[in-house]
Amino acid sequence: MADKKEDASPQPVRRRNEQVGTVVKAKMAKTVVVAVERLVRHGLYRKTIKRTSTFMAHDDKGAKQGDVVRIVETRPLSKMKRWRVEEIIGKNARAVEDPAAVAG
């Protein structure tokens, strides 16, 4: 029996599913809830409807409520988390850093 060499060709790297959305909840430790909007055409009336999906994502970047983030699909991290925050695209412009300075 001769030694059979298996194909050592590396498997192609799969592109992970990515979504861009807005953080709607950031009260948990290292977890944020991200709302992703998409446009769908109504089957009968042909009107474009806005649909929103929410995903729980693992957050090591420190995203706050209102931030625009890019999330990527990953292995299951918990019962509800299957996404990870890849980057924070835009900070929330309406967030107030020091409420005492505004009350002034």
Q: Which amino acid is at 61?
A: K
DSSP codes joined into one string, 6-65:
PP-PPPPPPPPPEEEEEEEEEEETTEEEEEEEEEEE-TTT--EEEEEEEEEEE-SS---T
Tens of pLDDT, residue by residue over 17-72, are 999 999 999 999 999 999 999 999 999 999 999 999 999 999 999 999 999 999 99
pLDDT band at 101 (very low <50, low <70, confident <90, very high): low
Whole-model pTM: value is 0.75
Q: Which residues of 30-49 are buried (b: 16+ CB within 10 A; e: fewer)?
A: ebbbbeeeeeeeeeeeeeee
Domains and CATH numbers, the chain: 18-93 (2.40.50.140)
